Amino acid sequence: MNKLLLILVCFLFSCGNNSGKLPVKKQDALGQAKLDTNRQSAFNWSWERSGEKIILPLWVTRYISKGQEPMDTFSGDINIDGIQDIVLVTRTIGEDTMPFSREYLPRELLVFSGKRDGFQKFLFKNTKALPCRTCCGMSDPYGGMTAKKGQIIVNEYCGSNTKQVSEYRFGYDVKKRDWLLDTIVTESYAFYYEQYRLDTTTQKDFGLKSLRNFSLYNDEE
């Protein structure tokens, strides 16, 4: 009986010290995922896509320009070495909450090459390869990207009186160790089917264009 009473007193004493509150899990400054401390650590930015949680490595943040935030990311063996690489897209912080205007809001393309030790090597950044939010009609022209084996594809959608969907395909050149534009496929249409057009141009039409310095709008903002 005395032993049971002692247990009961200890239980009540411990509850009084906790004030009836459950322990609160410590969060980082943004109130998001706690950072890992191992080599494959992740920084406090992640999102869900098709039921899959995307988390980027901590060190990637040093390559993101001031005023930019991650927007999209893709992985694939883009340089044909059997290792998964990363393609990252960033946007102006908070651009999705800004009213539509003609103000130029750049988006950046960052390419990282995977290494056999599990790390990624930063290769280059291009600030003109992607459509900005207000660069092509009244809708957001960024149509996503695709990272395939030996290929990076940029999609653009222009919406005004005439709708236009364009696909820019960059293939990896092993000798040059670079992604070169090899095909542009453009589909456009308006109110009447007679106005429908499907055009395909290749490298013989536009010459050698590297993704490293490619400008989607020919340097015209």
What pLDDT score was predicted for residue 140?
A: 83
pLDDT for position 26? 30
- Residue 191: give the domain boundaries: 40-206
Inform me whether the pLDDT recorded for 13 exceeds 90: no
> Does residue 120 sit in helix, strand or coil?
strand
Residue 26 falls inside a structural domain: no
What gap in Å lies between CA 175 and CA 11, rounded to an integer? Answer: 72
Residue 101 domain flag = yes
- Look at residue 7 and tell me if it is in a domain: no
**Mean pLDDT, residues 95-114 taken together:** 81
> Which residues, including other chains, have CB under 8 Å from residue 97's CB and lie 6 or more apart?
none
Whether 121 is covered by a domain: the verdict is: yes
113 inside domain: yes
Kindly report each contact of residues 71-74 with a partner whose C-beta sits within 8 Å and lies 24 or more positions away, as own/partner. Answer: 71/107, 72/144, 72/145, 74/145, 74/146, 74/147
Domain count, the chain: 1
- What pLDDT, in 10s, does the model give residues 153-181? 999 988 777 788 999 999 999 999 999 99
User: Would you say residue 38 has pLDDT above 90?
Assistant: no
User: Which pLDDT band holds residue 15 (cuts at 50, 70, 90)?
Assistant: very low
Residue 178 maps to a domain: yes
In a domain, 9, yes or no: no
* Cα–Cα distance for residue pair 93/70, rounded to 1 Å: 9
186 within domain boundaries = yes
pTM for the whole structure:
0.71
